[in-house]
Amino acid sequence: MDRKNLFPIGEVSKLFHISVSSLRHYEHIGLLTPEYISSDSGYRYYGTEQFEVLNTIRYLRALDMPLAEIEDFLKNKDISRIEEKLLQQKHAVLKKQQELQRIEQKINHRLNWLRDAQSVPLDTVSLIELPSCRIAWVDVPLKVDGSLDMEVPIRKLDQSDAEAVVFLGKVGLGISAEHLQQSKVNRYDSIFLILDQEDIYGRMDVNLLRKRVGMVFQKPNPFPKSIYENVAYGLRVNGISDENYIEETVLKTLQQAALWNEVKDKLKKSAFELSGGQQQRLCIARALAISPSILLMDEPASALDPISTGKIEDLIHELKKEYTIVIVTHNMQQAARVSDKTGYFYLGELIEFGDTRKIFTNPEKESTQNYITGRFG
C-alpha cells in the first residue's frame, strides 16, 4: 500500500497533542480505526479522513462528552447533541463569570482592609465604632506572653459552623468587661472573626446583585406578556440573545416550578390567563431563570387558596435542595412546615434565630414564646 499520504501514529500524536496510548484506546473501542496497519511491524498509519474524525473527537471531549456518546454521535450525526452540550457550556461560563465577579469584589474589599491597616498607628489604643457586621467567635483564654498562638482557636472557629462560612475577614481578640474593670489586660478571653461580606450599598455592582437575588412577591405579578416571555424577560434584560439557550432555560425553570405540564401547549398565551396559583409559580420560574444565589419570597402563598398554597410549599421543599430560600411570612404553621431555620422579628429587630423545631417548641426568648402561643400578635 502507498503510504505517501499516510501519517504514522507517532506523528499524529504530535500533530493533535494526543498520546499514543489514547489513539490506541480509541482504536480498541472502535472509535477511530487507522487507515492502515503494517503487517510486518504492527505500526498504525492514519489518513486525512481520520483527521476529520479526530478533530471531532477532540472537540466533543472538550465539551465533556463521554466517549460512548461521541461514538453514538459519529454514527448518527445528531447535531442537537452538540447544541445541547454547547448550551450547557455557555451556562457554565455565565455562572463562572458571576463567580469571578464576586471574587473580584472580595479582592477589592481585602485591598481596602490592607490599606486601612497600614494607616493605623502602632502602640495606640483607639475607640472605633464599627458598622453592623457578622462575626464568629470562640471563648478561649489567650495569654499575652509573646507566644500568642491563634491558629488553634481559628481552626475551632472554622469547624464550629457546619454550614461552612469561609473565614477571610479581620481577626480580633476580646477582653471581657469584667477583666477590663479589674484592669486585667494581660490576657484575652475570646477570639473572633469579622466575616468577609460585600458592601451591597457601596462599591457593589447593583446589576450583579440583582442577578444573584430572585424575588417573589406576596401577590402574583406576571408581566403583560406571554407565558414564555415572562420567563425569558430576565435573560434578555441581562444581555442574553441566544434563542436556543433562552428556550432551554424557559423549559428548565418551568419544570422546576412544577408548571411545565400545565402550560407547555399555551406558552404564547397571555400570563394573565393563568390561575392565581399558576401565576405565582410562573413568577417563581421567572426568578429562577437568572440562576440566582438566593430566592427571596414575601408571603408567597398568602393570596392563594389552600390547594395552590400546598403546591407552592411542595415546590419550596424541592427548590431548597438547590437554592438558598428566605421567606417572610406571618403564617406560623407555614413557617413550621417549610423552613429549616426560623428568625422572629419584632418592630424591625431580630429577637431570636435558630433551628425551626427549637424555635417552635423551646424558644429562649419570652417574647418569642408569647408570639408563638398567641398571647399577642
For the chain, give every domain's residue range. 7-77, 79-123, 134-194, 206-339
pLDDT score at 309: 86
Asked whether the domain spanning 206-339 has the same topology as the one spanning 7-77, the reply is: no
What is the DSSP track for 223-234? -SSBHHHHHHHH
pLDDT score at 263: 92
What is the DSSP track for 37-63? E-TTT--EEE-HHHHHHHHHHHHHHHT
| Model pTM score | 0.49
Phi, psi of 229 (to 5 degrees): -70, -25
pLDDT, averaged per 10 consecutive residues of the chain (377 residues), comes to 77 87 88 86 86 86 80 78 73 75 73 73 72 69 58 57 42 78 77 63 60 85 93 86 88 90 92 92 91 87 85 88 87 89 88 90 89 77
Specify whether the CB–CB gap between 16 and 58 falls below 8 A: yes
Specify whether the CB–CB gap between 45 and 36 falls below 8 A: yes
pLDDT score at 107: 77
pLDDT score at 38: 85
Q: Is 16 in a helix, a strand, or coil? A: helix
Strand 294-298 to 341-346 pairing:
unpaired
CATH code, residues 206-339 = 3.40.50.300
Write down the architecture of domain 7-77 according to CATH: Orthogonal Bundle (1.10)
Q: Is 328 in a helix, a strand, or coil? A: strand
